[in-house]
Chain A
């Protein structure tokens, strides 16, 4: 497969085009399923074939240029794809999770109309194409095309139920907020061209790594601009507001786009550009602070949400914060590792919640659920496995990745990384507090949804059922991956066998050595001893268990829901603030949306309607009409008046020419 990498994304694009055509001719669902799932399946096989070839050849980076896309002056941009350890990891899980979610969608979307079903799969295939282009692109512009493509598909799929106004509005919100970030990305591309005269990853990063002093300033600016793009796409403070609203889309879409793949594109980008961040302490600190603060901020909102998908959405924002915290402390591999494990367990959680919503007839409020464990055992057990993974319970996937990020954050603080030791120390505390909250709110979901007794209507209770195999199959596979996925990054160093950390070894080549490194990242590795590392593990596990115990006391047993209510009464302000999501949406509305809206109204009503339409267009017509109305009285119909006018004119002319 190596040598024709282009096949991997193109198969998905072909699937999208076919499905659009099938939607137009109102083809039956079976045909759409065949094309939609088949194309992604073929693409997955192609990916793994390419990865197999890649692992059995010596080259570290394979760039396949296909044609010259842009040629202007010194800039020459190829349409080219690249396979290196980082894109290999990304494509591996994107295609796998993507395929599973396509399969799941067969069951979840079966009650849609034929045309809607085809439209859904066309968009989903188009998304896969864009996402693969994003991770396989060998330069910034190609990556940008994929970046915009996933944004478009996100918009289309959030607004899939476009006849509901709030869904369409959520789609627009996602698109517009993402545009703000995209501007940063675009500026970063221009800055890269200005400094490096190239956008190829294989050119700019080695150049920066070889001349750290020359490109330190460039690294700061480009790094910060790229991070603005990452903030938009990966839903970090202050641009995270679109992701919770994005839950308006069908649940498999939330799982694929708004949890597992697209939103991690920002992390991928930061890790891809890790040379810039390692050259720039400022940019790196910005990444760490935004990530750490987002992690705890979103987790606190997630504590009190009652909509099952909203909790998962805020959890996603929070987990993305962890990934950026990891990147910001120099643990780029750990960040990508968390991307992968998060894709497994968060996709599983979302698909599980979709299964629950499916069973409850579209209901998403956890207050009307409960006791679903006995009705849908497969969903329950897979959901529980993923919940244990996200909470950071040992041997489950999330434990390894999150623990590594927290450990690296602690090390950064202890080693006084880049001289910002105190800040990194604080971020570690935030991350630890976030881990406690994560375990709490996730087990809150489990207890409210699956334990206790059913609180919904009897009508709904009679219809409770386990989902069809097309839905439970992916759940089981993802649940399994949530359990074992972490062993790819087994922290062997704790046992004196660092070779066991496969992902660390595999991704090591992407962390280019920086010539004459003057920064602390390199020696932060061994800043803390083995005992401290074990202590860190114990602390983070202890925190997770504490969260679970509290959730159990709050939401399980005879006194369920009593304690949280009492707590809410005791701290009404805090409760209201969390329930209102810190009123960030309202704040944005007052500070940004309303003024922009007002300005648009002024442009429309005053500038367009009054000045241009009324004054210029209608005004010109009116003045011509008025002049004509006055001048027509000179047409008296009496010939002698005309003769007089001619005579006077000639007389005047003669006088003038005298």
Chain B
């Protein structure tokens, strides 16, 4: 086996993937009516942000001058995961209550707070 030099994936690719994921998540939130689906789309948006953090951390770690900042991005990912977990707990509770009131978790039907 000829040893192959490991070529790292350019971080811009990762950022592009993050942007695509974010767009997918946003469209999901805007277009889906099912509460759980919207919720999952939100998770995708959060994780796309995490991916962006990771990409920047990787980019900064490869450079001596900015190496110290690399850790910040990685730490932030854990914050986001923690917030997402908390959000999941609150969100799911909300949907359960919504289901009890309306008999469905279609967000279009929860529209009595209006003009």
| A binding-site residues for B, Cβ under 8 Å | 632-633, 635-640, 643-644, 647
Contact = CB atoms under 8 A, between A and B. Distances in A.
Contact of B30 (A636, A637, A647): A647
Contacts of A633: 115
Given A644-B30, A647-B30, A638 B112 contact: no
Given A638-B107, A638-B108, A643 B29 contact: yes
Q: Report, nearest first, the 3 A-B pairs whose CB atoms are least far apart.
A: A637-B114, A637-B111, A632-B115
B104 interface: no
Contacts of B110: 637, 639
Contacts of B74: none
B65 interface: no
B2 interface: no
A637 B112 CA distance: 6
Interface string B34-77: 00000000000000000000000000000000000000000000
Interface in B81-110: 107-108, 110
Contacts of B113: 635, 637
Contact of A636 (B29, B33, B111): B111
Contact of B114 (A635, A643, A647): A635
Contacts of B112: 637
B115 A640 contact: no
Given A636-B114, A637-B112, A637-B113, A647 B26 contact: yes
20 contacts: A632-B115, A633-B115, A635-B113, A635-B114, A636-B114, A636-B115, A637-B110, A637-B112, A637-B113, A637-B115, A638-B107, A639-B107, A639-B110, A640-B29, A640-B30, A640-B33, A640-B107, A640-B108, A643-B29, A644-B30
A643 B110 CA distance: 15
Nearest to B35: A639
A634 to B, nearest CB: 9
**Chain B contact residues (Cβ within 8 angstroms of A): what range?**
10 to 19
Given A633-B115, A636-B114, A637-B114, A643 B30 contact: yes
Given A636-B115, A638-B108, A639-B107, 10 more contacts: A633-B115, A636-B111, A636-B114, A637-B114, A640-B30, A640-B33, A640-B107, A643-B30, A644-B30, A647-B30
A632 B114 CA distance: 8
A653 to B, nearest CB: 15
A643 B30 CA distance: 7
Nearest to A637: B114
A630 to B, nearest CB: 11
B50 to A, nearest CB: 19
A635 B112 CA distance: 10
Q: Which of B26, B30, B110, B114 has the most chain A CB atoms inside 10 A of its CB?
A: B114
A628 B80 CA distance: 38
A159 B76 CA distance: 87
A621 to B, nearest CB: 20
Nearest to A632: B115
B4 to A, nearest CB: 40
A635 B108 CA distance: 14
Contacts of B107: 638-640
A453 B76 CA distance: 121
A197 to B, nearest CB: 73
Contacts of B26: 647
B6 to A, nearest CB: 35
B19 to A, nearest CB: 12
A28 B107 CA distance: 85
B7 to A, nearest CB: 32
Contacts of A639: 107, 110
Contacts of A640: 29-30, 33, 107-108
A312 to B, nearest CB: 78
A627 to B, nearest CB: 14
A637 B113 CA distance: 5
A650 to B, nearest CB: 10
B114 to A, nearest CB: 3
Given A644-B30, A647-B26, A647-B30, A635 B115 contact: yes
Contacts of B108: 638, 640
B49 to A, nearest CB: 14
A647 B26 CA distance: 8
A637 B111 CA distance: 4
A289 to B, nearest CB: 79
A224 to B, nearest CB: 72
A637 B114 CA distance: 4
Nearest to B113: A637
A632 B112 CA distance: 14
Nearest to B109: A638
Contacts of A635: 113-115
A647 B110 CA distance: 21
Nearest to B26: A647
A633 B26 CA distance: 24
A184 to B, nearest CB: 66
B45 to A, nearest CB: 11
Contacts of A636: 111, 114-115
A535 to B, nearest CB: 103
A640 B28 CA distance: 11
A644 B108 CA distance: 14
Nearest to A650: B26
Nearest to B112: A637
A602 to B, nearest CB: 43
Contacts of A638: 107-108, 111, 114
A303 B47 CA distance: 111
Nearest to B115: A632
A641 to B, nearest CB: 9
Contacts of B115: 632-633, 635-637
A626 to B, nearest CB: 15
A647 B108 CA distance: 18
A644 to B, nearest CB: 6
B90 to A, nearest CB: 15
Residue from the set A633, A636, A638 with the largest chain B CB neighbour count within 10 Å:
A638
Nearest to A631: B115
A472 B52 CA distance: 114
A581 to B, nearest CB: 71
